[in-house]
């Protein structure tokens, strides 16, 4: 099990706390320090859709010039943008046995882990 994100993100902090409090050992991958693995983006996009990986509600996306936003019309363009701008990835991204879960909600995690 692996959790991808940025350590100072509040949502990532909530997910990590939930996992810890529920006895779930997880390896953490820090996008800022370790980069954004293209293979992970591709696998997650195959399951969730590449559009879902972009956090369009976050400040990083909102601060992008319109020409940058308008240029992201394909999976390839999205991956290039997200690798260059990891703060724009919706997070956290949780991988469990090759299946990806995006974002955090205690209810969804409870269901995922059948608590």
Summarize pLDDT for 40-90 with one digit per residue, the tens: 999 999 999 999 999 999 999 999 999 999 999 999 999 999 999 999 999
Spatial neighbors of 34 by CB under 8 A, at least 6 apart, are none
What whole-number distance in Å separates Cα of residue 11 and Cα of residue 64? 21
- Which residues lie across from 27 on neighbouring strands? 2
Whichever domain contains 79, its CATH number is 3.40.30.10
Number of folded domains that form the chain = 1
Task: Give residue 64's domain range.
Answer: 2-112
pLDDT for residue 80: 96
3-state secondary structure of 54: strand
Give residue 108's pLDDT band: very low, low, confident or very high (50, 70, 90). very high
Give residue 114's pLDDT band: very low, low, confident or very high (50, 70, 90). confident
What whole-number distance in Å separates Cα of residue 97 and Cα of residue 68? 34
Catalytic residues, which ones? 9
């Amino acid at each position: 099990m692996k959790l991808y994100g940025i350590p100072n993100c509040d949502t990532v902090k909530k997910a990590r706390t939930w996992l810890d409090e529920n006895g779930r050992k997880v390896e953490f991958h820090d996008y800022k320090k370790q980069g954004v693995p293209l293979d992970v983006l591709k696998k997650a996009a195959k399951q969730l859709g590449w559009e879902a990986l972009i956090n369009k509600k976050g400040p990083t996306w909102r601060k992008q010039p319109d020409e940058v936003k308008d240029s992201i019309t394909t999976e390839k363009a999205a991956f290039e943008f997200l690798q260059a701008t990891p703060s724009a990835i919706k997070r956290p991204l949780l991988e469990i046995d090759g299946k990806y879960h995006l974002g955090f909600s205690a209810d969804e995690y409870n269901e995922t882990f059948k608590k």
